[in-house]
Structure 1
Amino acid sequence: MATFFMPLLPVLFLCLLHTAISCPASDRAALLDFKAGLSEPYLGIFTSWTGTDCCTNWYGVNCDPTNGRVADITLRGESEDPILVRSGRMSGLMSGKISSSICKLDRLTNLVVADWKQITGPLPDCITTSLPMLRILDLPGNRLTGQIPSSMGKLSHLTVLNLADNQLTGKIPASLTAMSDLKHLDLTNNCLSDSIPSDFGNLKMLSRALLARNQLSGSIPSSIGNMNRLADLDLGGNKLSGSIPSNLGSMPVLSSLYLDDNKLSGNIPTTLLQSKGLGMLNLSRNALSGEIPDVFDSKSYFMVLDLSYNKLSGHVPHSLTSAAYVGHLDLSHNHLCGTIPTGSPYDHLEATSFAGNACLCGFPLSKYNM
């Protein structure tokens, strides 16, 4: 008889384990408090937040199977989620505020409340002190206000910080550069001011740094040039001044660099145009001067090279005709002079790529000047 019952024991144990591990009452209460601070009238995503077990069929909520604690909240207002498809809407609309009750979910690893358009108020300070296991904080596309908590650096396990497309003010917290695991940082399109921390380069694991369309001022920290994993850097649409650090052109995996629409001055570093990995470079709408370094060769490959609306002088670089590929090239609205070289890429460009240079001539300008 004993032999007959033995195979059933593991199954019974697993069933009992599943029954025992469910959402604790404290996590359920915290979620309901979080829900109470929000209003979502169109999709009804919170209608599933009923019953005693928040680990079962609560939309956007996932739990750790080993202890039943809430580990993941993912609520996206723009996605291909079936709940959006069934509603016939391309996006959702949610208003209200992110309640500090979220901080009671102290085993939370992922918090995603993205693209709901009308969520306002500040980011609760307690997130940085009460959620030690948080790895992803993804809150873009809302109307969050106030400052990024100064203690943000305490989230030592954070790999993704996305606060883009909000209305955040103040400075980038100095503590942020202590987040040694951070890989993706997006603060685009806010109202952040003051300077970029000088030790920004301490974020050694960072692969994307997107800080565009804010009100950041001061110089570009030279420490950024020491970031060996950074592939995408976007500082466009700010008030940055001073020269471009030459070591940006020596970064081993940098593939896109956007510094457009700032107040940068000085020469274009030769290293930038010699970089063999940098395929998208936009330095337009600054106050850069001097000549364009004529240092292109057969390994140069630019999908975008935009130097327009500066104070560049001298000749159009002839060596660009030896480049492996040049897609979009814009040298317009500078002080360039002389004849435009012949051959690729110049023979397939429009006159708009060279407009606004008073003493520049040759094709494609010539066909408009006949």
Structure 2
Amino acid sequence: MAEYASQQSKVRVGIIGGAGYTGGELIRILINHPDVEIAFVLSKSNAGKPVSDVHADLVGETGLNFTGEEELTDTFAAYADVLFLCVGHGDAKQFLNAPENSGKTGGIRIIDLSQDFRLHVNGVRPTFLDTPFIYGLPELNKAEIRTAKYVANPGCFATSIQLGLLPLASAGLLTDVYSTGITGSTGAGQSLSPTSHFSWRANNIQAYKGLQHQHVKEISQSLQQLQPDFQNALTSSKGLHFVPWRGDFTRGIYISSTLDCTLAEHEVNALYQAFYKDQPFTFVSEKMVDMKQVVNTNKCLVHVEKVQQKIVVHSTIDNLVKGASGQAVQNMNLMFGLDEGAGIRLKANAF
């Protein structure tokens, strides 16, 4: 167990589910984080194997091996200060409530990258061990994240759409919103499906889950936090109407949201600039934005166009970084009083 020996000056991290896309991305970020040591990466199916056997790009970058459950015989807090849950939807609750993990989670902070703890129930935040999960969108809940024990990391589409609309919600200006968004194949997870095979995905685009994507609830919940009269289009005829697309690329999300707005273009831009002026990873651009500007970074770029009485808000992120693992590290930095940008000031693949 020497691998778990702690450098007490650093935050000790445990990762549950390290073999998938979000787990791999989290490892890539954290092995270069100046204030972190990875205590363990748990993977039932890969226990004992080098991490670089699964994430081949990490050859020469880390000597970590995957850990099996039988090695973690004490409470998780004995090994780590924070636990990242990089597991499938429904699996986070199952993991935390499993008999073999009962009593092992006390005293440790948790950041869940699934959707299990994002949605309020009858207006009340979901809890674990009688402690609420805070929704981990720093641009919305930064003060609460700083003092949180448990954080529910936002979804990828939800992050991009929300960052495009939060300034308008803060001013009470949201009306019916019509959004389209395209995502890369990594958004579907690492397990193969008919729509993630190369032969299907290449040179192809397809719409899916039109007007009924699961992130609509999550987005509506956050927008209502700033504009209480905004409605959920899944239960009402008004609100956010979202059509997602599958794209023929691996990573990145690009969103375009259209709505009525009587403000002049310069007034809209001033509203956006003021809202994001103290946010280190969300930037308002006067020029049209490209997805390539954000791939492999924790940035969100936003651009607003005004045409007659309508505006179109374009927002783009990397689904695996700002839409998942990078934002999770941003939340960890806030929870532990670290530099918010530590370990996630990353370079875009411009070419």
TM-based fold match above 0.5 = no
Q: Which structure is richer in relative contact order (CA contacts within 8 A, separation 6 or more)?
A: 2
The TM-score with structure 1 as length reference comes to 0.29
Higher helix share: 2
Scaled by the length of structure 2, the TM-score of the pair is 0.30
